[in-house]
Amino acid sequence: MQSIVFLDTETTGLDPAKTHVVEIALKVVDAETGTVRGEYENVVALTAAEWARADPGALAVNGFAASEVEARGVPRAEIGADICGLFTRLNLTGKTAFFLCQNPAFDKAFFPQLCPQNVQDALRFPYCWLGLEAMNWALEARLVAEGERAPYRVPLSKDGIAASHRLAPEPKPHRAMNGVAHLLAIYRDIVGFLRRPSGERSGV
């Protein structure tokens, strides 16, 4: 059985060298049936100095305020241990799973703040990070090349991809688990799973 780790992060900026993950969420999904095998979400505790470096533009997107982070924030080490425990319990390794994100380069760059690379290596974490936008582009480009669809500008943003498939946009402000659920809904629509779990109806 192969699993897909649908993952999203909210951050205080775009540069992982200067800004930080403020929220993370993920769902582990059976790649064959679409069954959710496990999930995790948490807000990350930040120091006053780390919060002071936050980009107001990023906070406008995710809606986080210092008071919420102070009230809900969990230490990075505890979050990292939780994620490692989940991955170990579900046997998520490079041979059994891969990550899927909207922008894998972004999330992969911030992820070591919670699970350092040496820890990922020691636990044989999945090393493939796939992107929804590239997946959608390839599928749409093939349809155009085969003459099944007229040439058009293929959307690259998650909301753009959703709109092209007549799906709702991601709720705002952006929160990590909402992002994961939206990502999964789009994946179900544009790619789908090999078979549905018994009793599950088609559709998203």
Please report which helix (H) or strand (E) contains residue 58, including its range: helix 56-62
- Cross-strand pairs, 36: 29
pLDDT digits (tens, 9 = 90+) for 84-105: 999 999 999 999 999 999 999 9
Q: What is the DSSP letter of 30?
A: E
140 has pLDDT over 70: yes
**Tens digit of pLDDT for each residue in 147-173?**
988 888 899 999 999 999 999 999 999
Domain-located, residue 112: yes
Q: Domain of 60: which CATH number? A: 3.30.420.10
Share of the chain above pLDDT 70, in %: 95
| Total number of domains constituting the chain | 1
pLDDT at 197: 53
Domain ranges, residue 119: 3-132+171-190
- Answer whether residue 28 is part of any domain: yes
Mean pLDDT, to the nearest integer, of 79-88? 98
The average pLDDT across 134-151 equals 90
In a domain, 53, yes or no: yes
The DSSP code for 63 is -
Model confidence pLDDT, tens digit, residues 23-46: 999 999 999 999 999 999 999 999
Has residue 137 been placed in a domain? Answer: no
Rounded Cα gap, residues 164 and 52, in angstroms? 38
What pLDDT sits at residue 24? 98
Instruction: Identify whether the C-beta of residue 11 lies closer than 8 Å to the C-beta of residue 109.
Output: no
